[in-house]
Amino acid sequence: MPQPGESRRRPAGRSALRAAGRVLAVWMVASATLALLAWLLPDFRIEAQNGDSPTQIAVTAAIGAGAFGVLSALVWPLLVRALLLVPALVLGALVFFLNGSLLLVALRFTPDGRGEVTPVTAVVIAAVMSAASSATSTALAVRDDAAYGRRLARLAGRRRRRIGDPPLPTTPGTVFLQLDGVGHDVLCSALAGGAPAMPTLAGWLGSTHRLTGWQTDWSSQTGASQLAILHGSNHDVPAFRWFEKETGQVMVCNRPSSAAELERRAVERTGCGGLLAADGASRGNLFTGGADQSALVMSVAAQRGKFSRSRSGYFAYFSDPANAVRTAWSFVAEVGREVAESTASRLRRDRPRIKRGGLYPVLRAFATVVERDVAVAAVVGDMLAGRTAVYADLVAYDEVAHHSGPGSRDARKVLTRLDRSVRLIADAARYAPRPYRIVLLSDHGQSAGETFEDAFGTGLRELVRTGCGLPPAGRESGRRARRRAGAEARAAARSALRRPEKGRRAAEEAACEGPPSDPVVLASGNLGLVAFPDIAGRATLEEIGRRCPALLPTLTAHPGIGFVLVRSERRGPLVLGPDGGENELATGRVSGPDPLAGFGPGAAAAVLRTDAFPHTADLMVNSAVDPRTGAVHAFEDQAGSHGGLGGPQSRPFLLAPADLPLPAEPVVGAEALHALFHGWLDSAALPPAPAAAAVPVPRPRRGLSRTRP
C-alpha cells in the first residue's frame, strides 16, 4: 500500500493512455445515458422529425454529451465563482437549474437542430447525466491512486499540490473530528458486539487508537466546550444562552454575533491565537480556533467583509455539479427517513416524544446531509493541501438525538453514516502529501429523559413566576420561549441563507418580554437560568428573599429540581436542594442532604468555577437526575438534552492514535483538553512516546500562539 503523499508510479505514456481511456469511457456512458433518456422521456428528442438511424442517434448523443461535459468542466466553475454573493443554500438549488441551462446550450451543438428539450426536462436530464458521469469516473479511478487522488481533489474543490510548490513539513498533520453529542457510553455501545454500528472505529479500537473519556464543565454544551478546545478558555460561558444585564442582550452560543464576541473575549483573555493558528483550518464549527482557512464557521459569519469566507465550503463543494446531485438525493431521502421515523415513534408511543413536524424534517436533512457532505469534502481538501491541523464538527448525531433520544434506533443509524464519513476521510489521507493522525472526540454527551413540562405539567418559566407571585405568562409567549426544535441546524441554515439577526424574532427574546421587574428565565438543556434585570449585578440570596420570599422554597421543593446555585452576602456561593440541603461551596460545609451528592465527585468544583463568572445568572437551576438511569428533565423540548449536570451528558469521549501520549489523570474540563491537544501539535516533530506512556496534562498556555514546528 502506498504511503501518504505517494502513488503507484507508472510510465508517463501509460498514465496518459489510462487517463484518455477513462475520459473515453465516461463520454461513452454519458452518451448512452443521453440516448436512453431521449427514448424514455416524451419531451426530449435527439433525432430529426422524420426519424434517424441508430448510428445517427448515437453520433448526436455523443456530440451532445461531449458538449455538455466540456461546458461543465470549463464554464461551471466560472458560474459558481460569479455567484459568490448568492446565499449558499440558494446556490445549492440553483445548481440544478444552471446545470439544465448548460445542457440546453450543449444541445445547440447537435447537427441540424436534432436536440430539443423543454427546460424542466433539461434539469432532470442534466442531473441524471452528472450523477452517471460522476459514478463512472469514480469507479474507474478507484483502482488508480493518482486518478483517485485527483478525483478526491475535485470532490473537495481543491487543487492538489504540484511540482514546484513549496515543500511541506515531513511531520504528521492532525485532523480533529468532533462527533457532536456522542457520549462515551454511546460510543462504547456503538463499537461493541458482532455487528457494531461503527465498524471503522471498532476496527481502530485496540489496534491503532485508544479510547478514553473526559469530563465537561458544568455547561456541557458545544459553545463552552468548543470555545475552550479551540481557544483555551471558556471563562464566562455559563450556559448555551444567558442574559447580560449591562447590555440587556441574550447571548446565544450559536448566534453569529454572539459567537464572534465569545471568540474575541477568549482571545483577549488567553493572548493565544488559537489551536489552529499555525496553518490550520476550521470546518463547520462555532469558532475559528485562529485558523486562516475557515468554512461554515459561525463566528466568521457575523463579520462584514468575511461572509464569503464563512460560506466558502459550500461553494467549493458545489463547484462540481455532481456533488449537488448526490447531496440532493441524500437530502430528499433524509427528509423521508425523518417522516418515517417520527411516524413510527408515534405509533410505538415512544416516551419521551416531542413534536417533529413543520420545518424540522428539512432542518434535520440540512444538518445530517448538507453540513456533513460539505464538511467532509472540506477536510479532504485540507489534507490534500497538506495543512498542519484541521478541526471539523459533524453535528448529525446531536441533532437527531435531541429529537429521537440518544439511545434510539434512529440515532444509532446516524452513527453508522458518520462512520462512513470517517472512513472516507481516513481513506483520503493516503493521498495527502504528508502523513496524518486522525483524532476523534466529542464535545459533550446527551442525557435522556422526559421534558420538565411533560413530566410535571408546568414549565420552568411558569414555576418561577408562581414563586415570584406573578401571573402566568401568555400562552403564546410561553410557547415561543419553549420552542427550540432544530436550534443548531436552524442557526446554520440561517447563516447559509444570509438571514440577518437584526429584526428577527428569536425564541430567547420572548423570555425578556414584560416589565423590567419580571425575571428573565432561559434554558440550556436541563440547566435553567433566572435573572432579575432591574437588580444591578448579581442578585444575592438575601435580595431575592426580600423580593420573592417564596421563590427559592418553591424551586428547591419541586421534585424536578436537583439544586439551585445562588450567591449569599454572608456565606458566598451556596447550593440549595431538597429537604433543606445546603452546600457552602467556599468552605465545603454541608447541612442536611448534600444537593450535589447525585451529580458526581467533580460537581462541586464545576459549580464553584461557574459561580465566579461575571455573567452567571442570579439563580442557576439544575434539574434532578435519576441515580439509576441518569435521566434528567430538560427545560426545553428535547428528548435528549445536554447543558447541565446529570447523566451521560458530562462524559464525552476521546479516541486518539495510540502513539499520542494520554495524561495519567482523567481530563477534567475542556480547557485541559485544549492544553493536551496543544502539546500534541507542539511535539509533532519529536519521536512519538510509547503507547503505554502517560504524561500530565500541561496547563493552558498564555502569550503567543503556537509556532509551526
Q: Give pLDDT tens digits for 408-459.
A: 999 999 999 999 999 989 988 888 889 999 999 999 999 999 999 999 999 9
Q: What is the mean pLDDT of residues 588-609?
A: 95
Residue 418: predicted pLDDT: 96
CATH 3.40.720 range(s) for the chain read: 173-235+250-448+655-682
- Summarised one tens digit per residue, pLDDT across range 234-267 is 999 999 999 999 999 999 998 888 999 999 999 9
The answer on pLDDT for 634 being more than 50 is yes
pLDDT more than 90, % of the chain: 47
Q: What is the mean pLDDT of residues 559-564?
A: 97
Burial class of residue 143, CB neighbours in 10 A (0-12, 13-18, 19+): exposed
DSSP letter, residue 694:
B
Q: What is the mean pLDDT of residues 371-388?
A: 88
- Summarised one tens digit per residue, pLDDT across range 274-298 is 999 988 999 989 999 999 888 888 8
* pLDDT-based confidence at residue 89 (cuts at 50, 70, 90): low
Q: In 3D, which of 43, 30, 41 has the Cα closest to residue 130?
A: 30
Please tell me the distance from the alpha carbon of residue 193 to that of residue 172, in angstroms, as a whole number. Answer: 33
b/e sequence 214-240, b meaning 16+ C-beta within 10 Å: bbbbbbbbbbbbbbbbbbbbbbbbbbb
The answer on pLDDT for 476 being more than 90 is no
Residue ranges of the alpha helices (H) in 525-589? Answer: 541-547, 551-557
Residue 473: predicted pLDDT: 75
DSSP letter, residue 3:
P
3 state DSSP class of 524: strand
Cell 437549474 belongs to: 97
Residue 344: predicted pLDDT: 81
Please tell me the distance from the alpha carbon of residue 216 to that of residue 698, in angstroms, as a whole number. Answer: 17
* Mean pLDDT over each residue of the chain, to the nearest integer: 80
Residue 487: predicted pLDDT: 57
Cα four-point dihedral sign 552, 554, 556, 557? positive
For the record, the C-alpha cell of 484 comes out as 427550540
Q: What is the mean pLDDT of residues 210-236?
A: 97
Residue 442: predicted pLDDT: 98
* pLDDT-based confidence at residue 151 (cuts at 50, 70, 90): low
Q: In 3D, which of 608, 621, 625 has the Cα closest to residue 556?
A: 621
The one-letter amino acid at 296: L
Please tell me the distance from the alpha carbon of residue 395 to that of residue 418, in angstroms, as a whole number. Answer: 10
3 state DSSP class of 319: coil
CA 105, chain centre distance (Å): 39
Residue 700: predicted pLDDT: 37
Residue 384: predicted pLDDT: 86
Residues shown for the chain: 709
Task: Flag the least confident range among 159-168, 344-353, 633-642, 653-662.
Answer: 159-168
The answer on pLDDT for 345 being more than 50 is yes
The answer on pLDDT for 90 being more than 60 is no
CATH of domain 173-235+250-448+655-682: 3.40.720
Most confident option among 17-26, 159-168, 308-317: 17-26
All residues at 6 or more sequence positions from 476 whose CB lies less than 8 Å from its CB, including other chains: none
Q: Which residue has the higher pLDDT, 351 or 135?
A: 351
Residue 569: predicted pLDDT: 94
